[in-house]
Structure 1
Amino acid sequence: MAIYQLPTGTYETRSAFAFKGGSFRDKRHFAATAILLQHPKGDLLIDAGFGSQVAAHIQSLPRIERAPYQVVSTASEQLEASGYDRSRLRGVLVTHSHWDHVSGIDDLQMPIWINEGELRYASEDRDGEVFRIVSAGHKIHQYEFNGPPYLGFSASFDVYRDGSVVIVPARGHTTGSVIIFVTLPTGKRYAFIGDLTWQLDGIRRRVERPLLLRILADTDPKLVREDLLRVIALANVMQIVPAHDVTAYHGIPQLSN
């Protein structure tokens, strides 16, 4: 069992928009990175990063949400370049359905792993438009939180039934967003928290998004606050990986290396 990062690009924003107390002068490059999770029972991608049609996907956003961006290789291109055997991939497991997590799905002909709440959000919400485009023609693998509470979260789904990859609901950012806990055989542990916070500053400083961004970006800011505190309590025992913090991926090897 192993994990690899597949960075597909970044887009720019200011830390003042990312977390309370951030500076407008502090420009951040938000990561759009997929994670390849290798397991003896079959592999998964966690999120998909930017795809080959990312320019069109960004153009579909409201003008106020568009930002300067930089693209490198798509997850699909990186898998191809490494000689990876795609028959091992069981699907793309999304932390949630926003465009910057799913753009690369249309380059990947494999099932999308998603729970009922997030599938409903992606089908109905304005922010699900890109998901609806890229998911066309893909098989949907719908999972349920049929497992017990896990690390303070109300329920869980044990992907491989061995405790190595456990998904829990974190429904405040979108109505079906999740956190994915990964435990490697070495004992190293990770929490891939999606957009619970956009930067590690939210963990280190114990702060939320600025008020306006909480109103605009989160379906339930109170739930985000509660889950953020749960994750902060775990920061000393595992590596916390907010999806958009470039530095959060340090120590995770790239597939091409």
Structure 2
Amino acid sequence: MSPLLEPAPWPQPLPEASPPAEVAIHHLPTGTYVTRAALAFKGGSFGDKRHFASSAVLVRHPKGDLLIDAGFGADVAAHIAMLPRFVRAPYEAGPTVSSQLDDAGYDRRRLLGVLPTHSHWDHVSGLDGLRDTPIWMNADEREYAASDPDGKVYRSVSQGHEIHEYGFDDRPYLGFASSHDVYGDGSVVIALAGGHTTGSVVVFVALPAGQRYAFIGDLTWQIDGIRRRAERPWLLRKLADSDPEQLRQGLLRMIALDGLMQIVPAHDLDSYRGIPLLSARAAGQPA
């Protein structure tokens, strides 16, 4: 199958960022579920089983920490039972984000909130163990999550949570038309991508040593979507994406950035390589 036309590489320097020395990120894996590569991207094989990650990433910052996504929760079995039968898949649950934070001795008073890349079940299930943590969500995603059938699990687990609604500036960021600089120092920038859900986002993170990351949610489910320039199969685009053309444009923007940063599709477990797990020592560092 023909890949997407290759976009021109990003032609400019990356945006300036001045992350404080304490900024760090940690991978909190919470489990996996099985999907065939043929269902994940064009050209994938039915014989190629992919173990889709369900993870969170903790971003440490002296002004307060953020969790990107929430992974599987303690009630993940009940959450999966809320889904249509045809999308349920065999899964293996690991320690929840909540238990990993507690096991590391993490002080939850540091948490500003949980920032879902979007509101689908496998990104928000773990909110069930983070009851006192605000949910960061933009207006478009709040509207989507409140009414779309795929927001059913979110509507259940978000009950009782404070919602912190953030907005976007009309400030382009790496090809995306609008963005929100969380701390004002370029260390965490949220860009409105849309396409998968109405308000789905890409979260760009810059570390003090110069590493750059892009947590792209479900712009593609596997890194093959970037490296092979491969969209989801036609039927999956129809079922999974609110605006396939908008999603395609976001995917092309990220393909143009490949090689300039570590791109992390939320469900590609290998893409998290090199991001340390949360340890008691790391959790105890002053913020």
With normalisation by structure 2, the TM-score equals 0.89
1:92-115 deviation line (CA, Å, top 9, x unaligned): 011000000000001002100000
Of 140, 146, 157, the match for 1:134: 157
Cα distance, 1:146 vs. partner? 1.7
Q: For residue 42 of structure 2, give the secondary structure of its aligned residue in structure 1.
A: coil
Larger Rg, first or second structure (1 or 2): 2
Q: For residue 254 of structure 2, give the secondary structure of its aligned residue in structure 1.
A: helix
The answer to whether 1:69 aligns with 2:87 is: no
Partners of 1:155 and 1:7 in 2: CA distance: 30
Of 38, 50, 54, the match for 2:76: 54
Q: Structure 2 regions of 5+ residues with no counterpart? A: 1-22, 281-287
Higher-RCO chain (CA-CA 8 Å, sequence separation at least 6): 2
Cα distance, 1:232 vs. partner? 0.6
Of 243, 253, 256, the match for 1:230: 253
The match for 2:192 is: 169
The match for 2:177 is: 154
Task: Tell whether the 8 Å contact from 2:220 to 2:232 is kept in structure 1 after alignment.
Answer: yes
Of 84, 103, 108, the match for 1:86: 108
Task: Tell whether the 8 Å contact from 2:201 to 2:216 is kept in structure 1 after alignment.
Answer: yes
What is the 5 A alignment of 1:87-236? 87-108=109-130, 109-236=132-259
Q: For residue 101 of structure 2, give the secondary structure of its aligned residue in structure 1.
A: helix
Task: Tell whether the 8 Å contact from 2:33 to 2:53 is kept in structure 1 after alignment.
Answer: yes
Partners of 1:112 and 1:121 in 2: CA distance: 15
- Give the residue type in structure 2 aligned to 1:44: L
Of 18, 32, 37, the match for 2:59: 37
Task: Tell whether the 8 Å contact from 2:170 to 2:177 is kept in structure 1 after alignment.
Answer: no
1:144-199 deviation line (CA, Å, top 9, x unaligned): 01251111110110000111100011110000000000000111000000000000
With normalisation by structure 1, the TM-score equals 0.99
Task: Tell whether the 8 Å contact from 2:41 to 2:224 is kept in structure 1 after alignment.
Answer: yes
**Runs (4+) off by over 6 Å:** none
Partners of 1:122 and 1:130 in 2: CA distance: 9
Cα distance, 1:256 vs. partner? 3.3
Partners of 1:216 and 1:6 in 2: CA distance: 28
Partners of 2:150 and 2:96 in 1: CA distance: 22
Task: Tell whether the 8 Å contact from 1:147 to 1:158 is kept in structure 2 after alignment.
Answer: no
Give the root-mean-square deviation of aligned CA atoms: 0.7
Partners of 2:225 and 2:143 in 1: CA distance: 28
1:105-144 deviation line (CA, Å, top 9, x unaligned): 0100210000000000000000000000000000000000
